[in-house]
């Protein structure tokens, strides 16, 4: 890990640190003295810094997490925002990182002409880097305890799929998957049917899914309804599964920021 810089964000005490992990940019923040809880977020460019945010609007994740932690009587979590690898020279880097790799290697067909070949997918290596290198190093750096029972992952859209995929591949590394607007239309019902039954069906693993009703999120309804029914058929209960529709929200950071307190409460409460 090589530190790039530290910067301040309104509403967040101390400084956010930006670091380089072998070419992968990561922003992170922890309360002074570290934390017992760890939150790993995809699309890290949208987590803290308006200058790097896709539409100049962040999730305000740390500010909301501090409030929710206070309300639930817990210490604010260490928050790790992992940037995707898209650049001018690598325009499809985000898809390479966040696309669930195994279902397509096993024959699931994308709903539209794919931007990438199967050989270009890098979702498995991306997750291995997060859990094997990035999270442990930052936890040590911030004097935080990286314990699976107290660790959650959060993402939206393709990041929502990556979060659910991580639950399938790395359920020993974290116990709560927060998937906002998971992008099921990538392969439709076939992707739902591949992923949902493979989620870890243990009492100590929690899964959140949600969607809006406007814009791209409006098209998610039939797929999310199918996912919800499969979860119920597999006996996921209210204590470890929640799916919610947020009316009048759409597919952008402003919408996800408007209700991210609810999945955080689902995790921390």
Whether pLDDT at 113 is above 90 = no
pLDDT 10s digits, 141-198: 999 999 999 999 999 999 999 999 999 999 999 999 999 999 999 999 999 999 999 9
117 in Cβ contact with 4 (< 8 Å): no
pTM of model > 0.75: yes
Domain ranges of the chain: 2-268
Whether pLDDT at 112 is above 90 = no
133-139: long-range contacts (C-beta < 8 A, 24 or more apart)? 133/21, 134/1, 134/21, 134/24, 134/26, 134/80, 134/82, 135/38, 135/40, 135/80, 135/173, 137/1, 137/21, 138/1, 138/19, 138/26, 138/28, 138/78, 138/80, 139/34, 139/38, 139/78
What fold does the segment set 2-268 form as a domain? Rossmann fold (3.40.50)
Give mean pLDDT, residues 229-237: 97
Query: What whole-number distance in Å separates Cα of residue 198 and Cα of residue 174?
Result: 16
Give mean pLDDT, residues 90-107: 96
Query: What whole-number distance in Å separates Cα of residue 44 and Cα of residue 140?
Result: 19
Query: What whole-number distance in Å separates Cα of residue 143 and Cα of residue 145?
Result: 7
The number of residues making up the chain comes to 269
């Amino acid at each position: 890990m090589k530190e790039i810089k530290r910067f301040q964000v309104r509403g967040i005490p101390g400084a956010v640190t930006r670091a380089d992990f072998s070419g992968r940019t990561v922003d992170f923040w922890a309360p002074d003295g570290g934390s017992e809880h760890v939150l790993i977020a995809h699309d890290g460019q949208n987590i803290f810094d308006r200058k790097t945010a896709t539409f100049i609007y962040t999730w305000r994740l740390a500010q909301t997490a501090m409030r929710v932690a206070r309300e639930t009587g817990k210490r604010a979590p260490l928050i790790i925002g992992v940037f995707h690898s898209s650049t001018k020279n690598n325009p499809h880097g985000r898809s390479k990182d966040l696309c669930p790799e195994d279902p397509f290697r096993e024959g699931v067909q994308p709903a539209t002409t794919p931007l990438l070949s199967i050989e270009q997918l890098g979702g498995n290596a991306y997750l291995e880097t997060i859990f094997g290198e990035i999270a442990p190093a930052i936890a040590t750096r911030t004097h935080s305890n990286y314990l699976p029972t107290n660790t959650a992952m959060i993402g939206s859209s393709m990041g929502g799929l990556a979060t659910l995929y991580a639950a399938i591949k790395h359920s020993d590394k974290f116990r709560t998957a927060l998937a906002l607007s998971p992008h099921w239309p990538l392969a439709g019902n076939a992707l739902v049917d591949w992923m949902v039954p493979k989620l870890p069906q243990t009492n100590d693993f929690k899964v959140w899914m949600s969607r809006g009703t406007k814009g791209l999120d409006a098209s998610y309804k039939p797929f999310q309804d199918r996912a919800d029914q499969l979860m119920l058929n597999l006996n996921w209960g209210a204590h470890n599964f929640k799916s919610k529709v947020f009316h009048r929200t759409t597919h952008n950071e402003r919408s996800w920021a408007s209700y991210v307190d609810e999945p955080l409460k689902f995790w921390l409460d």
